[in-house]
Amino acid sequence: MCGRFTLTLDADEIIDEFELTDFPDLTWNRRFNIAPSQQVLTIHKPASAKWMRWGINRAVNDRNDIMINIRKETLIEKNYFKNMFDAQRCIIPMDGFFEWKKSKNKSYPFYFKLKDKAAVGFAGLWKPAAEDASWVECAIITCPANELVGSVHHRMPVMLDKAFFNTWLNKETNRATLLHLLQPYASDKMTSFEVSPQINKPSFDSPDGIKPSIKIGDQRSFDF
């Protein structure tokens, strides 16, 4: 799954890297701990970005579920997702994400990022918010983890290189091609390291959150 991610580029870098001509907010602040229910920058059509809320609200058995992730295996198995998969796809720009490794009844956060600065986005789906049609909600598609992420968690978000953005966003792209894109990202293009548990707090949105921890024996320290 993916429960937190980063987008640490400046506005000009985002516009350049993702080849945007329509950007919703030039007062953009770099983000080091994006959490569910927050606004996220998305690309819903080529060269055009907009704000969406992370988490799709779905009524299930008289209660509301907030879906921040959607398993790729369910996209064509469940009717609820079919229309979104066919016509409501988006890209969520990112440059890193967090996963938690469980050990001895504790969970330790790890940060995963690309080794280079290539433009990459999560594959996502979107829909109008049920309570307010003027607002849009989105979720991140997940797939089985690659070898690197698999050492921490068995699932990972689907990450698309810029070369595949237009194919993913094009409403004419057939399902077989779309499903073929939903593969684990190559481990050899990524790196990871343990970070401070401060990142557990959604309010902790600081560059310190993506600094590697230093482990000495069973003790961990953080160079803030």
Six-digit token string for 172? 């004419």
The Cα 209–Cα 184 span in angstroms is 25
Helix (H) or strand (E) holding 143: strand 136-144
Give the whole-angstrom CA distance, residue 2 versus residue 157.
6
Whether 2 is catalytic is yes
Burial class (CB in 10 A: 0-12, 13-18, 19+), 142: buried
The Cα diameter of the chain in Å comes to 55
DSSP codes, 3-70? -EEEE---HHHHHHHTT-SB-S-TT---EEEE-TTSEEEEEEETTEEEEEEESEEEEETTEEEEESEE
Active site residue 138: no
> Of residues 2, 90, 138, 143, which has the active-site annotation?
2
CA atoms within 13 A on the CB side of 206: 13
Of 17, 73, 77, 99, catalytic: 99
Catalytic residues: 2, 99
